[in-house]
């Protein structure tokens, strides 16, 4: 539902970000739509100290997957995406919803029926095109660093602009 | 609140406030397209903003800034002056609304006793923030691209290292996230022009001036909790507690709050575990106990700076009883001048004997809108409970119109009377189903494990 324009434009607490849906983070701790890509970090299934940085580019749908130390993922090849990229897409759909992810990646979804993450993946036919893992990995570390911030007891008038959103928003 | 109160509140009209908001809207439109590209109409809006201050102490400085900006010389000090003018206009609207509210519901308010704020000290961190905000204003929201948004991230990150600048850091972080989410901004529709101008001007003020909290005092006495509201964006969560402070000097309305950093993936009831370091405060909220305070700092704006060491839980006190019996006697604080803005109004009230309409309570035929979109998923208070409620503790707020933000309701569920407060889950969800689901997918634990393994390598 599109908000009424003048009311939205003249509201101090107009909502810009849609609510994030809860999801399990063990497999894919970090997902974002940024820098023209769906990108994120996928935990390795076999080595708890290893993570993969996976991404899909908007428009071309070219994908990339490598460890945070830039070692290419063996699963991602010219014949298709690896399980890390697949998991990234699945979790992004849980977090943001199917249509917002499709819109960002510029994927045409069928109007009819109830398409899911599978239809989204099938509609993409990019090829392997490795990108630097370092940028996304450092964004993930920055993301995690918020949990390390000390708690604060200062008054924060600013947060009156940020009321917690309910489900009925 | 009685029908006469609601009627007086909703019926009040202020020509001055309408005019002030028109000037604000005019200025906000210049930020949409950027101060570097002012056409005649938007240049006129900047001049009109300055004109409103002709007879005030700000007048000369604002007029000079408007002249510079409309001539195409968009310097940082001119932007600070214009942001100050916009802030002062909204401050006047705030004062007008508060005067209406106090008269309508018969609330006594203490006069502001602190200072008015002063220019901030030279600080590299703050100049980085100002420079970023200036670039945003010059480009205009429509012209802001991702490089410009991320251009502020270094300055914001550095701010987090300074505890006394946390509010500014949180504000700018929130603004940057929204600018990113709205991209491409050249075609975003509708664009939240007042909201972003609010955040921009507040950021400018916070990085240009020290908002002096005035002389803090040490207070001892009993804090009776009225309710808890939750505030959050992707990287912060804050529990704000409203209450009545009883001291030897009398009863006062106060607030206190605790905040923690978070990620966007920590949502719903998961946020409480981030605030687990405040068991005395949140325990009292969850268990409906009073708090005995000894020598805690109270700022003149009505904010207690929470300190677990200076509080201990007292006897059980029903927040509905506090709202019913104490609200009429408690003296409300005045906001610090730099902080006055309609969005800041959050006045605790108690309602009973109302009827229900879609999204509103009906009192003697007067409809008071209820903000059902502000019932956080972190707590047990739902729209259905609000719709079947007979009593409510809430906050009167204003955003274009007056509305009520519920904090707690007394409702009838299956012929039994139940009290449901947002803060009931402050020590973790009390609903076993929710608690079990939370334990199975503990986002905070997963991310802390990842942080522990990856951050310190």
* B396 found inside a domain: yes
Look up the domain containing A115 and give its range. 21-142
B341 and B318 in a common domain: no
Cβ separation of A164 and B230 shorter than 8 Å? yes
Q: Is B309 an interface residue toward A (CB < 8 Å)?
A: no
Question: Cβ of B14 under 8 Å from any chain A Cβ?
Answer: no
Query: Residue A150: closest CA among chain B residues belongs to which residue?
Result: B260
What is d(CA B279, CA B283) in angstroms, rounded to the nearest whole number? 5
Q: What average pLDDT does range B89-111 have in this prediction?
A: 96
Give the residue numbers spanning the domain of B298: 217-326
B232 contacts A164? CB cut-off 8 A? yes
- If asked whether residues B205 and B222 sit together in one domain, one would say no
**Closest CB from B189, B277, B343 relative to A160:** B343
- pLDDT at residue B59 greater than cutoff 70: yes
Tell whether A165 is covered by a domain.
no
Does the structure show a pLDDT above 60 at B14?
Answer: yes
Domain count, chain B: 4
Q: Please give the tally of structural domains in chain A.
A: 1
* A53 located within any domain: yes
Write the CATH number for B224: 2.40.50
pLDDT digits (tens, 9 = 90+) for A67-102: 988 899 988 776 678 999 999 999 999 998 898 899
pLDDT mean over B286-303: 97
Give the Cα separation of B266 and B244 in Å (integer).
31
Which residues in chain A come in under a pLDDT of 70?
1-4, 78-79, 167-169
- Percent composition of chain B: helix, strand, coil (DSSP 3-state, to 5): 45, 25, 30
In the predicted model, what is the mean pLDDT of residues B325-335? 96
> Is the pLDDT assigned to residue B218 strictly greater than 90?
yes
In a domain, A90, yes or no: yes
Mutation target among A157, A165, A167, A169 for the B interface, most CBs of B within 10 A: A157
Considering only CB atoms, B374 lies closest to which of A2, A34, A166, namely A166
Domain C-terminal end among B326, B358, B383: B326
Highest mean pLDDT among A4-18, B14-28, B278-292: B278-292
Decide if A93 is inside a domain: yes
User: Does residue A95 lie in a domain region?
Assistant: yes
Q: Which residues from B are below 8 Å from A134, CB to CB?
A: none
With respect to residue A151, please indicate whether it lies within any of the assigned structural domains.
Answer: no
Phi, psi of B212 (to 5 degrees): -75, 120
Average pLDDT on B3-16 reads 89
CA dihedral B338, B340, B341, B342 (to 10 degrees): 180
CB within 8 Å of B155: residues ≥ 6 apart: B125, B128, B129, B131, B132, B172
ipTM confidence: 0.96
Radius of gyration of chain A (CA): 18
What pLDDT is stored for residue B235 in this prediction? Answer: 96
B21-43 mean pLDDT: 95
CB contact under 8 A, B372 and A26: no
Mean pLDDT of all residues in B190-198? 97
Distance from CA of B189 to the nearest CA of A (A): 8
pLDDT at residue number B120: 61
Choose among B256, B383, B453: nearest Cβ to A49: B453
Mark which of B79, B106, B133 sits at the end of a domain.
Answer: B106
Contact between A159 and B240 using a beta-carbon 8 Å cutoff: yes
Q: Identify which of B95, B117, B88 has the alpha carbon closest to the alpha carbon of residue B23.
A: B88
* Each residue's pLDDT tens digit, B45-58: 999 999 999 999 88
Whether residue A14 is contained in a domain is answered as: no
């Amino acid at each position: 539902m599109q908000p009424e324009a003048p009311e939205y434009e003249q509201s101090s607490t107009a909502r810009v970000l849609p609510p994030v849906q809860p999801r399990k983070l063990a497999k894919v701790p970090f997902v974002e739509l940024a820098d023209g890509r769906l990108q994120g970090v996928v935990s390795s299934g076999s080595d708890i100290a290893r993570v993969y940085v996976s991404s899909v580019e908007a428009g071309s749908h070219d994908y990339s997957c490598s460890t945070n130390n830039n070692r290419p993922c063996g699963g991602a090849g010219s014949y298709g995406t690896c399980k890390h990229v697949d998991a990234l897409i699945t979790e992004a759909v849980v977090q943001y919803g199917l249509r917002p992810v499709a819109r960002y990646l510029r994927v045409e979804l069928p109007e009819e029926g109830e398409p899911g993450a599978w239809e989204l993946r099938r509609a993409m036919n990019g090829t392997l095109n490795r990108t630097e893992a370092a940028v996304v990995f450092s964004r993930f570390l920055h993301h995690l660093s918020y949990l390390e911030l000390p708690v604060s007891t200062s008054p924060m008038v600013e947060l009156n602009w940020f009321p917690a959103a309910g489900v009925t928003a | 609140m009685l029908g006469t109160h609601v009627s007086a509140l909703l019926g009040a009209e202020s020509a001055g406030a309408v005019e002030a908001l028109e000037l604000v809207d005019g200025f906000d439109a210049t930020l949409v397209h950027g101060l570097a590209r002012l056409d005649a109409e938007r240049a006129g809006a900047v001049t009109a903003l300055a004109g409103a201050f002709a007879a005030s102490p700000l007048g000369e400085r604002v007029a000079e800034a408007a002249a510079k900006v409309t001539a195409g010389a968009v310097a940082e000090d001119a932007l600070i002056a214009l942001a100050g003018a916009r802030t002062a206009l909204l401050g006047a609207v705030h004062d007008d609304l508060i005067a209406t509210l106090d008269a309508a519901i018969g609330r006594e308010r203490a006069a502001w006793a602190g200072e008015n704020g002063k220019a901030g000290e030279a600080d590299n961190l703050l100049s980085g923030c100002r420079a970023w905000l200036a670039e945003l204003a010059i480009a205009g929201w429509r012209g802001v691209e991702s490089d410009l948004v991320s251009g502020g991230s270094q300055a914001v990150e550095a701010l987090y290292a300074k505890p006394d600048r946390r509010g500014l850091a949180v504000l700018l972080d929130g603004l940057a996230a929204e600018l990113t989410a709205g991209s491409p901004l050249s075609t975003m529709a509708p664009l939240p022009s007042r909201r972003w101008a609010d955040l921009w001007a507040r950021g400018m003020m916070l990085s240009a001036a020290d908002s002096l909290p005035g002389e803090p005092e040490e207070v001892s006495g009993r804090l009776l909790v009225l309710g808890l509201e939750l505030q959050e964006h992707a990287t912060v969560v804050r529990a704000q507690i409203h209450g009545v402070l009883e001291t030897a000097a009398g009863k006062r309305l106060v607030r206190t709050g605790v905040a923690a950093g978070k990620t966007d993936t920590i949502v719903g009831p998961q946020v409480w575990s981030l605030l687990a370091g405040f068991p005395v405060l949140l325990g009292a909220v969850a268990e409906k106990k009073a708090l005995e305070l000894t020598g805690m700092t109270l700022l003149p704006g009505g904010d207690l700076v929470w300190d677990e060491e200076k509080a201990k839980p007292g006897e059980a006190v029903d927040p509905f009883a506090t709202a019913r019996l104490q609200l009429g006697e408690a003296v409300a604080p005045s906001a610090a001048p730099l902080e006055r803005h309609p969005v800041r109004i959050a006045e605790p009230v108690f309602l009973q004997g109302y009827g229900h309409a879609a999204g509103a309570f009906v009192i003697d035929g007067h409809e008071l809108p209820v903000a059902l979109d502000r019932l956080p998923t972190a707590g047990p208070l739902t729209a259905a409970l609000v719709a079947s409620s007979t009593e409510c503790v809430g906050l009167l707020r204003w955003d274009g119109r007056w509305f009520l933000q519920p904090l707690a309701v007394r409702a009838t569920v299956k012929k039994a009377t139940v009290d449901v407060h947002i803060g009931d889950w402050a020590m973790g969800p009390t609903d076993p189903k929710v608690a079990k689901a939370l334990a199975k997918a503990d986002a905070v634990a997963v991310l802390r494990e990842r942080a522990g393994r990856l951050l310190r390598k």
